[in-house]
Amino acid sequence: MRIIQKKSPPSVTISRQTGTRGRNIGNMLRDAVNAQLKKEESAWEVHDEDLPQQILREHGLPIEMAKFMPDDAISEVESSINELLGRHPSQWTLFEHTIDTVANIARKGHAIIVGRAGNKITKGMSNVLNIRFIGDLDSRAKRISARRDTTHKDAINFIKKEDAARKKYARKNFGADIDDPHGYDLVINTDYLSDESIVGILIAAIKEKY
């Protein structure tokens, strides 16, 4: 008798340059696909700012340790010293926990995973669509300036710092260039498309790949 393995439901990872509306688009995508779900299907969820807390809960670690888990956390030297002093697990241990949790979330399906180099963690998973959002620096700075009520110059400095941290995270942990388009199924410049249009493209891509 032939055993047919059930394919995992689709998931999406979102990598984004700072100021490309990744969080808003992820939430809109969740709402749009949930509106099309069949009654027996589980709802889609966005895993973004809450991801560190979820990782810590799954591995029985204090939620307060989330401060050690930004995309570019404390230095390796400080991490090693803290581990020896028993203050918290090493950055490498937290990274391994991150891989484990993100992979399980993606495998379960109906997940939109924002950041954490999700495209690298889920590499080879046939049910996952990997997305990258990009945009012109000046356009992104205008959005950040309006959102954070800051000057254009400060917004640019903020963007450069955030983007550098994300690049460092991907390079240090995966030896990957976060800007390499070959690491994604779809790269979208969000400067010229509305959130609604982008969500429509993503839904079509999910159906095409899945």
Please give the C-alpha separations between residue 19 and each of 23, 32, 64, 79, 191, in angstroms, as whole numbers: 9, 22, 27, 30, 10
In the chain, the domains with their CATH numbers are: 11-209 (3.40.50.300)
Mean pLDDT of the region 65-91: 52
Question: HEC profile for 21-56?
Answer: CHHHHHHHHHHHHHCCCCCCCCCCEEECCCHHHHHH
Percent of the chain past pLDDT 70, that is, above it, reads 83
pLDDT of residue 50: 83
- What sign results for the dihedral spanned by CA atoms 7, 11, 13, 14? positive
Cβ proximity of 209 and 185 under 8 Å: yes
Q: What are phi and psi of 184, to 5 degrees?
A: -135, 155
Confidence bin at 73 (pLDDT 50/70/90): very low
- Please give the pLDDT value at position 6: 64
Q: What pTM did the predictor assign? A: 0.83
Using 50, 70 and 90 to split pLDDT, how confident is the model at 95? Answer: confident
Integer CA distances (angstroms), 101 to 73, 97, 127, in order: 18, 6, 16
- Residue reference for tokens 């590499």: 123
Q: Are 91 and 73 in contact (CB under 8 A)?
A: yes
Q: How confident is the model at residue 210 (pLDDT cuts 50, 70, 90)?
A: confident
For residue 19, which phi and psi values (nearest 5 degrees)? Answer: 90, 15
Q: Is the pLDDT of residue 2 over 60?
A: no
pLDDT exceeds 90 at position 70: no
